[in-house]
Each structure stands twice: as structure tokens, then as C-alpha cells.
Structure 1
């Protein structure tokens, strides 16, 4: 029984897969998966949770680029080039994502509560609602601000329930348009 190196075994299975041997290709992917896990665990030991995702990305890249492989060259060098590229891509993405998460511990003043906020908000909403016709303003006040049901607002305003719903919808749409113009 001959002992094959990883290079020889993987290359034999891969070339067979390229020639149409589905079983050989499945074996190649299975063995390559084990090799890639080891390769990645050595390079990112603190990020074991990301290893499987990277393995899958590399396997997909190998599969998609299989037509570029030249059988006269070492397979492992070709696969490692793809793996290194995917690993660098992973590091770039991770660095970009982490740069967005600066700690806010030093910035407690950003989250300081203002005692005036509820009063200011109430005043601002009142000013905005003043721009609406009574039917829309009253419907929004009763249902959205006071928490009454549409039926209760209907009884208070003398409008039908569907008219209350339409007034709320149109009023909110008008407020959104007004706020956009003011911004």
C-alpha cells in the first residue's frame, strides 16, 4: 500500500473531480475541509467561531475557480493562495466592522438626560399639529397621543371610524412632508 502525501492525495481527487468523478470530488472537498480547518485554526486561534464560515467561503471559492487550476502546478499552493485571499478579506471586513464600534464609556455626557426633553417634545408636537386641519389634528391627538381607540375617537369627533383612520393617515403623511421640508 503506497503512502500518499496530502498534496498527492488532494491533487489526485481534485483532478479526478475535474474529469467528472463526482465521488472523487466529494472526497476532495471533504479532505480539503479538514486541511482548511487546521490551516485557519493556526492563523486565527482566538476566532474559532469564524473558522467554519471561512472554510465554507474558501471551499466555494475553490469550487468557483476550479477551471483556473493548472494540473502541472501544486494544488496546495493554489488552494493556499485562495485561502490567504479569503483570510485577508475576512480581516479587512472585521477591521472595518470593529472600527464602527468605538466604546462610548468615555462619552457619558452624550447620554445625559435633559429634564426639559418631555416638555420640549410636547411643545414641538403641539406646534406641528397646529399645521393640520382640525379633523386630522383631533384624530391624531385622540388615537395616537391619548391612546383612545378609533371607535372612541369617532364618538368624540363625530366622524365615522373609517374617517378617523383616513384622517390619521393623511395627517401623519402631511406632518412627514412638512417636517421634510423644514429639514
Structure 2
């Protein structure tokens, strides 16, 4: 099983494509096509799935026609999946399935690309930006990426004990910051 591409990877491909890199744009469209199939298949009834390929193509065309409106400072996946969501709503409305659209769209998105997950990720990044670079890197490696303390210590050129202490102090500083302290 392959993992879904990250926000950073997708945003990088989008930015490259906006700067004229056609190969990056083709790669982005291929990745987004796969993501859309999964996204729509979880939100469409069995009868409507016959229209899924058309819906995927309509969404990719909408991306193409609106790509110049993308704000480079914002998360790409939130922008893209809002286009996908509106295309799905239009699809259901066009077939008289307003109630089905409201029911299906009311469900939580079970992916790394939900708006809540993206907002949380941005909040974590803002918090981490307040830490010194070494501490920030250790938190990312061990707590966010799931590396072992031994691996992080090896990469940082520190002992495991020093890494554990640095992580503990960093988390304590972040907790204090969240409580409204320094």
C-alpha cells in the first residue's frame, strides 16, 4: 500500500506547474486523479459511481481553469478539495440528489487533507517556529515523523539522553506557551 502524497509535495508540484514546469503539472494531475477517485468513491452512491470518471475530469478541468487564482501562501490541498467538494455538490444537484449531497457532504473527511487537519498542522508549525532549530528538528523527527530517539540522536550527533532531555524541555516550553506563559 502506498501512502498519500503530503501537502508539501502536492504544493511543490503546483508551484512548479505555475512557474511553467509541464512535467510537474502532468505529475500533479496524475496524483490528483487518484486522490479524486478515492475522495468521490467514498461520497457517491453506487448508482452515481458510473458518473465518477466524468466528475473527476470536470474537477481536473476546473483546477486547470482556476489554477491562476491559487494563493501560493495557502495550503494547496484545502484549495483543491474545496473545488472537488463544489463539483460534487453540483453533480448531486444536477441529478436532483440534494438531500443525498447534504448527507454525504456532512460526513467528516477521513484523510490527511481535511481542513481541520490542515489547520492543526499549520498551528503546530507556528508553535514549532518559536523553538530553536535543533529542538524544532528533534520534535519533528521523533514526535511528528515517528523516528526513534536513537535515530534522531544519530542524525543530530547527540546522545540519546541529550535528545530525550531536549525533547522534554521543548514540549514543556510549548505547553507553557499554550497556557499563555512565556
Q: Which TM-score applies when normalising by structure 1?
A: 0.49
Q: Which TM-score applies when normalising by structure 2?
A: 0.49
Q: Which has the larger radius of gyration?
A: 1
* Relative contact order, higher structure (CA 8 A, sep 6+): 2
